[in-house]
Structure formats: structure tokens, C-alpha cells
Structure 1
């Protein structure tokens, strides 16, 4: 078990280092220069010599390998760099915007899980064949709907047509209803598909037939014998969906004009603020790798077969 844990932590660190390196290289080769974008503004009245001095102060004139090592060492120490456009440490920008994104992402993911579980279990218990087929077809529809299009449609229906939810000066949580739905619907689709497939597969296993032969009802067999076994593949997929959750949150914030990492990312892209973009990529990577690491460590506790495997690897 100790060897398994060491291997998983080592893989996680390797993935984070690879994500940092790829992001650094791609951001460096992109056209544009945040320092020139800001300081070449004629209104500032800076001379070419002064602009060159600013570039040296920000380390832009250093060789790329020095910039890479400097940025990597800063990340390891918790220093996310300095925003050229905002003129403040990137850590302050992240700290100001992460709570807004979490206030959208966490309820959105919770709703996605509830929606996926409801579709899977209700479709399994549905007595009519047409209703079962209709419910099982919904995840394919959900996964094909672009988040930005869904957000616009929800605004058009519930805000402009029905006037149920205002889009101008809504309450703190009232303004999150439509964004949370927009975020949850596409994310729920893969979870629902995996759950439906897992339930159908597990229901063919011999222990399910034995439980039914003993007189257990269909709902009793589903909740007591099938549900826990079906959750294992869904748990793995849920960890993988974190990347989609973050991307969906950024798009949703842009569509609804919400504060958060989405708006910060958009501003950083427009201004070529490399330090901010590098920090956002690494925060996303840390969250993605961390959640998947937790899932990998929890999975052997749910499935005894994997527990035996990890024990053999110790």
C-alpha cells in the first residue's frame, strides 16, 4: 500500500510539472507582449529607454530558461508572479476571484450529480418502455448542448419571456440560478450515461438474480445491491469531469457577466497577461490532479478487489 501511495503521488507531481512546462512554453510563443501593450500607450508618455527598463524590471529580457526556472521556483514557494496589467501580485487577483467561481462551481457540480443520479435510477425503475427510452436519451441531448447556447436560451426563456428571474440587479443567489443550471446540465450527461450503463450491466450479475429470487423488490435490489457497485465507475468519471467543470464555469461566467476566474481569464487573454494565465492553468491543474488523486485513493476502499491489488503493490 505504501508503494501504491508513493507511485500515485509521484505521478501527480509529474503531471503538475508537465502542465506547468507546457503552459509556460505555449504562453511564451504566443504573439503579443503584456508589457508593451500596457506601457506603449501614448497617454503614459514613456520613452523607449524607459519601456526597455520596465522590461528588464519584469524579467522579460532574461533568457527563457532563466524565466522558466524563476517562475517554477516561485510557484513552488507559492509566489504566482506579478500582473503587469493590474499592477498587483497575481495571488491577490486569484484570492479575489476564486470564491465567486467556487460559489458557482460547487452548487453546479452538486446539481449535476443529483440530475445524473435521478435520470439513471428513474429510468431504471420506469415501468413504461417509452419513458425509459426517453429518459435514457436525455444525456445524449445534454452532452451535445453548448454551454454558452444553453445559457442564452435560459436567459431568453426565464428572464425575458417568463420574467421569473431578473438578469439586471438580481439577488446574490437569485442571479446564480440560471448559471448553475447552465453549468450542471452538460456535466451531468457523462455521469448519467456511465450510471445507466453500469446499472444495466450489474443487473445481469448472478447476485442480483439471487436477491430477486429471495423475494426482494426491484427498488430494494436497486438500492441495496446495485447502487453501490454502479457508483464506482461514476466516481472515476466524476473526478475526470473536474476539468470540464472549470472550463464550463469560465464560459458560464462570461455568458452571464459574473465575477470570477472566467472574467479574470478573459481580461488576461485580452491583455496577454502571461503571469495570470500561467497561475490559472496551474490552479486548474492542481484541482484536477488533486481530485483525481483523492478518487484513486478512495476507490480501493469501495472495491475490495482493488484493495487487494494495492495491498499487493506495497
Structure 2
């Protein structure tokens, strides 16, 4: 008499899936970092001008031809382009980001000083954007026709607002006219408000659009109908079921969202005179500071890769069905 084997996943199969998933993330991350480093290497060398001038203090340094030749030889800029590329990839593979041309300091130290300010700004903006998006999604699903139209209009308008225009309007209204908030960012809570709102509002509009559709589907789904049949109130269905499903697309987009915030930080940090990697990146590109530009780009890519991996893990926690395939 044969017995039916219990239908549960084999531990060895789950381990193989986990190892394959981790290896895939690591290899994918390495490929992304290599692609970013390659794009930065060739992109910066296509910009008109001589990077040696940045090493010698800029175009106005009036360095002698002998000094320029010595600096070019010291940094290997007199070598063929293919040799320069191989040398830089080998240097980056060892974790050596080089020395900033303009700041005359190791790039790793410069990034270590600037990164916390930008990460705090991006994290606060992501949190505020999530809160705004959830409020818009709830308003759209519970506010009837008027609430849905109002929320949809706010989402479209906020998603379409460029950072530089929004920052200018906020400074004009809340700093120049009302005098409530400082126009220049600082470490005080008041100095964080305008930069955070400038970054969060466009992202909130985009996330709200994505969450609204998912929440509407969740409200009409079978599990929502079953919960109502069991006597669950509309508020209970919203809090216990619909919000969780509406959050899934937002979680999936969190890596992209953080990358968008880091790119937006270039504009926001410049407008609000806020120290950070975004403002330093703009200055480094202008002065052709190749090591610093490369370091900032690789750091941003690394943060993006880590957040994407954490988003995948969080998706599997919120919806375990994702990890079963």
C-alpha cells in the first residue's frame, strides 16, 4: 500500500533557491557597478577640455607645459585610453577610489563626510512621500467621486512638478513672503523641511498613482468581499487587507525611488546650499574631477543595489507568495 508524500517544500530546494537568489543579486550588482564605472570613464573623457587642468587647479591656474606634462604622467593620463581604462577598473576592483583632483583628499574620505547628509535627506523625503502617497490612495478609494478626482488631480500635478521650480516656489512663499522657514538648509529641523518637501512631493504623486490602482483592485477582490461577509468594517478591510496590497508596488519601486531622490538631490542641495554628494557631484562634473565623479556614481549605484535587494526581501515578507515561485 503506497503512501502519499507530504506536500511541503523540501528544505534543500528552498536553500538552493535562496543561494541562487543571493548569487543572482551579487552578480547583478557587480555588473551594474562595472557598467556605471565604464559609462563614467568614457563619458567624462568625451567632455571637451583637459582633465589635467583640474588637477592643477582649474583652467585659470596658468600651469607651465612642463607641470602639465608631469601631472599627466603622474596620473597616467598620457597612456592610451584602453590602458587607462584597464588600470582604473583594476584600481576600482581593489576598492581604491583614488584622490579628488579639486579637494586633494581621498575620495573615500570625502564621500564618508558627505554621504550621511544626503542619506538623511533622501530617507526623510522617502518617508514623507510614502505618507503622502498613502493618504492620496486612501482619499481616492474612500472619498467617493469627488475624493477620487481630487486625489487623482493632486497626484498628476505633483508628479509633473520639476524640483527646481518647486524649490523656487517654496522658498518664495515660506521664506521670502511668510518668513517661516530658512531659505538655506541647515542641520536644524526647520532647515530640513523645504528640501525634504521639494524631493518628496513629486515622488509622492507617482507612488500615489501606482498605489491607487492596486488599492482599488484590493477593495474589489475576493478576500475583501469575504472580510466584509464576516462582519469586517470598511476601515478594518482597508487597514488589514487593502493597504498591505497597495503597498506592494510602492515597495517594489522603492529602489527606483531612492535613485530618483539621489538624482534630485543634485538640484535640491545646490538650490538650498546644502552640503551633500549631490551638490559635490555637480561641482565635480563642472571641474572634471574624474575620481570624485566616479566615486559618487559608484556610491549611488551601490545604495540603489542594496535598496533594491532589501525591497525584494520586504516584498517577500509582505506577500510570501512571491518567494514560492
Q: Partners of 2:21 and 2:43 in 1: how far apart?
A: 33
| Equivalent pair of 2:184/2:274 in contact (CA under 8 Å) | no
- Within-5 A mapping of 1:113-132: 113-126=130-143, 128-132=144-148
After superposition, the Cα gap between the structure-2 partners of 1:13 and 1:297, relative to the gap in structure 1 and judged at 3 Å, is farther
Q: Partners of 2:147 and 2:315 in 1: how far apart?
A: 33
What is the CA distance between 1:191 and its match in structure 2?
1.3
- Within-5 A mapping of 1:3-82: 3-37=20-54, 39=56, 46-82=63-99
Q: Partners of 1:246 and 1:166 in 2: how far apart?
A: 22
Which of residues 184, 201, 204 in structure 2 aligns to 1:185?
Answer: 201
Partner of 2:240: 224
| Equivalent pair of 1:159/1:165 in contact (CA under 8 Å) | yes
Which of residues 117, 121, 131 in structure 2 aligns to 1:100?
Answer: 117
Which of residues 138, 150, 161 in structure 2 aligns to 1:145?
Answer: 161
Does 1 or 2 have the higher relative contact order (CA < 8 Å, sep 6+)? 1
Q: Partners of 1:115 and 1:43 in 2: how far apart?
A: 48
Q: Which runs of 5+ in 2 are unaligned?
A: 1-16
Superposition RMSD on alpha carbons, in Å? 2.0
Q: Partners of 1:258 and 1:40 in 2: how far apart?
A: 24
Partner of 2:127: 110
| Equivalent pair of 2:126/2:257 in contact (CA under 8 Å) | no
Partner of 2:11: none
Q: Partners of 1:222 and 1:173 in 2: how far apart?
A: 33
1:258 aligns with 2:249: no
What is the CA distance between 1:40 and its match in structure 2?
8.0
Deviation string 1:65-122 (CA, Å, 9 cap, x unpaired) is 2222222222222211111222222122212211221232111111111111111123
Q: Partners of 1:121 and 1:247 in 2: how far apart?
A: 29
What is the CA distance between 1:204 and its match in structure 2?
1.8
What is the CA distance between 1:42 and its match in structure 2?
8.9
Partner of 1:288: 304
Q: Partners of 2:245 and 2:274 in 1: how far apart?
A: 39
1:241 aligns with 2:251: no
Q: Which runs of 5+ in 1 are unaligned?
A: 310-314
| Equivalent pair of 2:265/2:279 in contact (CA under 8 Å) | no
Which of residues 214, 229, 234 in structure 2 aligns to 1:198?
Answer: 214
* 48-57 vs 95-104, which moves further: 95-104
What is the CA distance between 1:137 and its match in structure 2?
2.0
